[in-house]
Structure 1
């Protein structure tokens, strides 16, 4: 598969991914699990992370399933990385969201969870090496009524993504820019921001803003301290950066709050 074909598929995944809270009770089969593990292996190498797929552990979500907040949640991506490492938390958001988009293209449903799970129970079922910690989890599985869902067109799924939840506006996502600067910004920057607007974030707080600097043709990503997302902001920064990069096309981020994106 060429780079361009893969990139177009990732844009499709960005445009149809939504948070799924209700799952069918059909397990993730061995073949699908193998394919997901094959996706995780290079992401772990690139990100120096320890992302893992854990199947058939409904007890991790027992309380949320019982309360109706989740339904039939039983599998998760364990987002594991180095302890006390801010950059690793950002990389975890970036690379685990890449796995989320791969799962989306396979017709699976996902949900990043900060609460709604038993962290201690989850930690018992994944491998956490010395010097590592479990940051967060992503619930994964077949969405409820997934057979009917698979019959929906790309356009129907993209329209649902666009309208299913409130989102901050383009202006809020580019809060550090004037109207003139927004207007003058290149198409790649606008496309990047629009893709980032579709990114998941803890408690849907969307704590990341973007600016464009015409002098050196770079973008920057910033954590918005007023979003009240101090616990998960670095993870959300990584997720938003991935979505921006996919939307913008070719280019690369520097890690960190205020990190620059060089468009290629």
Structure 2
């Protein structure tokens, strides 16, 4: 499965089968996590066979069921932490999809269980990602149009249009899609968050930026300068 195919196949899944993640698959995940932590200056941790984090009232309200495995997305406090968490965390989501695993980004519907994760000095948890074999493969959600989230037009290049379409497949909090991509000419593209009362826009932006870059083959100009 290519990354483009993973983007198209991925849907948020909240209910999971009682099937453990194999040692081989967990080894692949841990190696990928090490790679991504180094690249993104993050402290992402894989938690296996631990059901308590998704047994609280918020998890039940969020309709999570059977979650025994998850990723703790954390890192040192910084202005760009949330954006990096989205960008690099989504790399793990797509890698998991390639391994036939299902996922869901989780902002609130989890409980922090003591001794399941470790935080270093000045580190904080950004969010969790549930992980496992879904009862279903999820469903597509209603999406905004490309012109709602970009300056796409009849004269913008195909790679830009492809990138925007891939960004619209990115998971966002309550499907809000509060981001905007702007073609600046040549190979230059900028991306920014749009105000939301719900929040999580920086994480969402990072996720959408990754999708855009995968599909377009181009880098987000202001994101790369920010890192």
TM-score (norm 1): 0.79
Structure index of larger Rg: 1
- In structure 1, runs of 5+ residues without a counterpart are 1-7, 150-159
- In structure 2, runs of 5+ residues without a counterpart are none
Corresponding residue for residue 188 of structure 2: 218
| 2:121 aligned to which of 127, 130, 134 | 130
Cα separation, 2, equivalents of 1:90 and 1:45: 16
> Which whole-Å deviations, capped at 9, do the CAs of 1:90-118 have from their partners, x for residues lacking one?
11110110010000011100000012111
Higher helix share: 1
For 1:232-251, list aligned pairs within 5 A.
232-251=200-219
Tell me, yes or no, if the aligned pair for 1:47 and 1:88 is still in contact at 8 Å. Answer: no
Corresponding residue for residue 186 of structure 1: 157
Tell me, yes or no, if the aligned pair for 1:210 and 1:221 is still in contact at 8 Å. Answer: yes
Tell me, yes or no, if the aligned pair for 2:86 and 2:206 is still in contact at 8 Å. Answer: yes
> Which whole-Å deviations, capped at 9, do the CAs of 1:199-246 have from their partners, x for residues lacking one?
0112221111111122x4411111111x3343x111111111000000
Tell me, yes or no, if the aligned pair for 1:188 and 1:249 is still in contact at 8 Å. Answer: yes
Deviation at 1:65, TM superposition (A): 5.5
Corresponding residue for residue 78 of structure 1: 72
Cα separation, 2, equivalents of 1:36 and 1:169: 34
Cα separation, 1, equivalents of 2:214 and 2:61: 36
Tell me, yes or no, if the aligned pair for 1:87 and 1:255 is still in contact at 8 Å. Answer: no
Tell me, yes or no, if the aligned pair for 2:209 and 2:220 is still in contact at 8 Å. Answer: no
Aligned structure 1 segments of 4 or more residues deviating by more than 2 angstroms? 63-68, 227-230, 250-256
